[in-house]
């Protein structure tokens, strides 16, 4: 039987994409819209600051270009139960009646051991290592741009990732990782696993101050066998970070 890789798992992640039904929204009285925006702004501001201050998660809001959605919320929390509670809070907002969810993705921050030497044992307490903790419990970068996409490893005849040996996959992933490391300081990434949790196997979330870096990085990776032979990609989203005050001001118009 082919050996599965070991993983270290960190914070749980919810990517939540929605759009505002402006026809319904504009049918509300101005006072109703004002109250709804104030309520939403307070909750979003609270969730953008409270978990981070308590070192129990983080959140980011992004406006998205194109037809796929308008508002992307990225929430990282300690447990799946925390995300359930947050989703219930968000659904209880008055403005939720005018927000149509167009996509969502549930996953958990994941570090594989492909880069480790054969026989390396997983640390018993990875969060005691500051380097591992920062990767398992990442904060949402302050940089303005985000790119998000789901992906699978291929299971095609002649190119089935899941029939490769662990050593074969380890060699491929080490070379693949070298490409990403060349973009250190320009692009930061968060890989979150979703096997058994959502329709795709992983979500890749990239952050950068320059959106062209997303194109450069993904293009270069497409020519690597891990992508060219063994990857399948879902829809891509690109967004720009926005704070709750700017968002509510935009929707107040």
The per-residue pLDDT for range 36-70, each reduced to its tens digit, is: 999 999 999 999 888 999 999 999 999 999 999 99
Q: pLDDT category, 246, cuts 50, 70, 90? A: very high
Q: Using alpha carbons, select from 124, 127, 171, 140 the residue that is nearest to residue 58.
A: 140
Inter-CA distances, 82 with 44, 162, 165, 207, Å: 15, 32, 37, 24
- Which of 122-131, 142-151, 228-237, 240-249 shows the lowest per-residue confidence on average (mean pLDDT)? 122-131
pLDDT digits (tens, 9 = 90+) for 149-167: 999 999 999 999 999 999 9
Q: Residue 103: helix, strand or coil by DSSP?
A: strand
Does 183 have pLDDT greater than 80? yes
If you average pLDDT over residues 182-210, what whole number do you get? 97
Residue 197 has what pLDDT? 98
Residue 173 has what pLDDT? 94
Does 111 have pLDDT greater than 90? yes
Inter-CA distances, 110 with 10, 98, 190, 232, Å: 6, 34, 8, 19
Q: pLDDT category, 114, cuts 50, 70, 90? A: confident
Residue 143 has what pLDDT? 87
Q: State whether CATH 3.30.70.1030 applies to domain 7-252.
A: yes
Phi, psi of 165 (to 5 degrees): -70, 165
DSSP code per residue over 46-94: HHHHHHHHTTSEEEEEEEE-SSS-SEEEEEEESSHHHHHHHHHHHHTSG
In angstroms, rounded to a whole number, what is the distance separating the alpha carbons of residues 207 and 73?
A: 14
Read off the pTM: 0.94
Question: How many residues does the structure list for the chain?
Answer: 253
Catalytic residue flag (residue 149): yes
Does 119 have pLDDT greater than 80? no
Q: Residue 155: helix, strand or coil by DSSP?
A: strand
Catalytic option among 62, 149, 183, 230: 149
Q: Where are the domains positioned within the chain? A: 7-252
Residue 117 has what pLDDT? 66
Return the structure tokens found at 112: 């594989």
pLDDT digits (tens, 9 = 90+) for 8-32: 999 999 999 999 999 999 999 999 9
């Amino acid at each position: 039987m082919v050996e599965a890789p070991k993983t270290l798992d960190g914070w749980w992640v919810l990517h939540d994409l929605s759009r505002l039904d402006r026809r319904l929204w504009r049918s509300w009285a101005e006072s109703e819209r004002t109250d709804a925006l104030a309520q939403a702004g307070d909750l979003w501001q609270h969730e953008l600051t409270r978990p981070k201050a308590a070192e129990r998660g983080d959140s980011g809001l992004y406006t998205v270009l194109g037809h796929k959605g308008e508002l992307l919320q990225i929430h990282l929390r300690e447990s799946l139960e925390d995300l359930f509670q947050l989703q219930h809070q968000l659904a209880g907002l008055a403005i939720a009646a005018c927000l149509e969810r167009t996509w969502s993705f549930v996953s958990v921050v994941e570090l594989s051991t492909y880069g480790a030497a054969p026989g390396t044992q997983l640390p018993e307490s990875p969060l005691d290592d500051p380097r591992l903790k920062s990767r398992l419990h990442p904060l949402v970068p302050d940089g303005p741009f985000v790119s998000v996409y789901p992906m699978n490893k291929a299971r095609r005849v002649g190119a089935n990732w899941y029939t490769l040996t662990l050593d074969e996959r380890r060699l491929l992933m080490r070379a693949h990782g070298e490409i990403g490391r060349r973009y250190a300081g320009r692009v930061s990434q968060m890989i979150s696993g979703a096997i058994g949790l959502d329709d795709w196997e992983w979500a890749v979330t990239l952050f950068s101050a320059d959106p062209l870096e997303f194109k450069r990085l993904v293009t270069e990776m497409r020519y690597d066998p891990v992508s060219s032979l063994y990857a399948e990609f879902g829809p891509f989203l690109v967004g720009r970070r926005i704070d709750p005050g700017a968002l509510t001001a935009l929707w107040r118009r």
